[in-house]
């Protein structure tokens, strides 16, 4: 029987309360009793054996050593094929290090593009983000389809770097990117929820980010206006409207689509795009006037609104050119030193 077995546990709490009492006598009595119990506590601890380390602690130590081993292998690898073998590791940190190492290898990592495309669907968001960054640095157009799928990722950083990668690939990515505005896109129903809880589909995400590309996608969008797929034509018109002044080269195709298209929703989007681009072509105003006389009331109303907007902007431009504003004279500088 241990020495501590003679002391009851509830007595210890009683003695401790007496030691913390505000009464001086009770406090001295409690402190004295606790002082007498110190040797008993020391003897009890001496009799007990040191408990073994928990199993989970040992497992953590083994996992940490394995992680250090894998990271050392990845850092020392000079061939992309060797690094690719670590992209399927069970630890996401190892997979992330492997992706970053492929980015450091430069042109030699082009053979790993298919493996990096698979990493875009990794379970951990950090691996997906790193894969998008590396694919943008490599600039291979075969990764565009997988990057477009990442535009519906639930993590905003992953969506941002996927778009940056598409932008870094450049004109080579435009045909594939614009094909995902059609009704036959495999990613048409993919979406994420914004801060307001609303669904944002992949085509809408592409259209909203299109203005960051400047005039680069304009020729491809203009060619898509007369496509047989009506949804592609609508999305192309909406994307051109988002580009505003950068889409001025597509005004002839827009006016032609307004006259020849049989799809009323597309014609409405074309009218709105013309209003946002402005009167930069002599055929814009006649086309809008003709559309304002349409039997379709919705199209006629949109054409009238767009026509008024274009004419107002045109009048402002003419007034500004006719009466240019003179620069206001600057007030004399009172702190200037007098001329000597």
3-class secondary structure, 154: coil
| pLDDT at residue 258, rounded to an integer | 92
For 214-319, give the CATH class: mainly alpha
- Cβ atoms of residues 176 and 148 within 8 Å: yes
Rounded to whole angstroms, the Cα distance separating 287 from 267 reads: 11
User: 331 versus 150: which is more confidently predicted?
Assistant: 150
Structure tokens at 21: 């009492």
| Percent above pLDDT 90 for the chain | 52
Q: How confident is the model over 314-331, as a mean pLDDT?
A: 57
pLDDT band at 4 (very low <50, low <70, confident <90, very high): very low
Model confidence over 131-175: pLDDT tens digits? 999 999 999 999 999 999 999 999 999 999 999 999 999 999 999
For the chain, residues classed under CATH 1.25.10.10 are 78-211, 214-319
Q: How far is CA 297 from CA 82, 264, 278, 302, in A?
A: 65, 11, 23, 9
Rounded to whole angstroms, the Cα distance separating 156 from 179 reads: 23
Model confidence over 79-125: pLDDT tens digits? 889 999 999 998 999 999 999 999 999 888 999 999 999 999 999 99
| pLDDT at residue 102, rounded to an integer | 93
Model confidence over 178-235: pLDDT tens digits? 999 999 999 999 999 988 889 999 999 999 999 899 999 999 999 999 999 999 999 9
| pLDDT at residue 239, rounded to an integer | 94
**Taking the model in full, what pTM does it have?**
0.72
- Cα-only R_g, the chain: 36
Model confidence over 61-83: pLDDT tens digits? 777 788 888 888 888 888 889 99
Looking at residue 153, what DSSP letter applies? Answer: -
DSSP labels, 209-233: HGGGGTTTTHHHHHHHTT-S-HHHH
Q: 258-262 — which CB contacts under 8 Å span 24+ positions? A: 258/287, 258/288, 258/291, 259/287, 259/290, 260/226, 261/225, 261/226, 261/233
- Cβ atoms of residues 292 and 300 within 8 Å: yes
Rounded to whole angstroms, the Cα distance separating 272 from 10 reads: 82
φ, ψ (nearest 5 deg) of residue 89: -65, 150
Count Cα neighbours of 221 within 13 Å in the Cβ-side half-sphere: 31
Rounded to whole angstroms, the Cα distance separating 245 from 252 reads: 14
- Cβ atoms of residues 127 and 119 within 8 Å: yes
- Cβ atoms of residues 181 and 206 within 8 Å: yes
Architecture category of domain 78-211 in CATH: Alpha Horseshoe (1.25)
């Amino acid at each position: 029987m241990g020495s501590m077995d003679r002391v009851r546990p509830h007595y210890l709490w009683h003695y401790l309360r007496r030691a913390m009492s505000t009464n001086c006598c009770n406090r001295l009595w409690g402190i004295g009793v606790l002082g007498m119990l110190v040797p008993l506590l020391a003897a009890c601890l001496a009799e007990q054996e040191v408990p073994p380390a928990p199993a989970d602690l040992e497992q953590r130590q083994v996992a940490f050593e394995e992680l250090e081993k894998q990271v050392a292998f990845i850092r020392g690898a000079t061939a992309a094929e060797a690094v690719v073998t670590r992209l399927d590791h069970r630890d996401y940190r190892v997979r992330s290090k492997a992706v970053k190492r492929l980015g450091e290898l430069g042109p030699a990592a082009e053979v790993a593009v298919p493996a990096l495309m698979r990493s875009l669907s990794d379970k951990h968001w950090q691996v997906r983000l790193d894969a998008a960054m590396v694919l943008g640095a490599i600039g291979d157009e075969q990764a565009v389809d997988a990057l477009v799928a990442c535009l519906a990722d639930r993590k905003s950083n992953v969506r941002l770097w996927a778009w940056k990668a598409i932008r870094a690939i450049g004109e080579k990515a435009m045909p594939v990117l614009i094909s995902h505005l059609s009704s036959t896109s495999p990613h048409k129903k993919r979406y994420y929820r914004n801060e307001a809880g609303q669904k944002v589909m992949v085509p809408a995400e592409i259209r909203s980010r299109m203005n960051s590309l400047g005039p680069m996608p304009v020729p491809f969008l203009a060619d898509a206006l007369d496509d047989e797929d009506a949804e592609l034509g609508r999305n192309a018109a909406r994307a051109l409207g988002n580009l505003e002044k950068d889409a001025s080269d597509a005004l002839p195709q827009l006016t032609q689509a307004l006259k020849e298209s049989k799809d009323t929703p597309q014609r409405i989007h074309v009218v709105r795009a013309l209003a946002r681009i402005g009167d930069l072509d002599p055929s814009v105003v006649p086309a809008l006037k003709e559309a304002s006389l349409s039997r379709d009331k919705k199209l006629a109303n949109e054409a009238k609104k767009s026509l008024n907007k274009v004419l107002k902007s045109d009048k402002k431009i003419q007034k500004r050119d006719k009466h240019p504003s003179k620069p206001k004279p600057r007030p004399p500088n009172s702190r200037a030193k007098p001329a000597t």
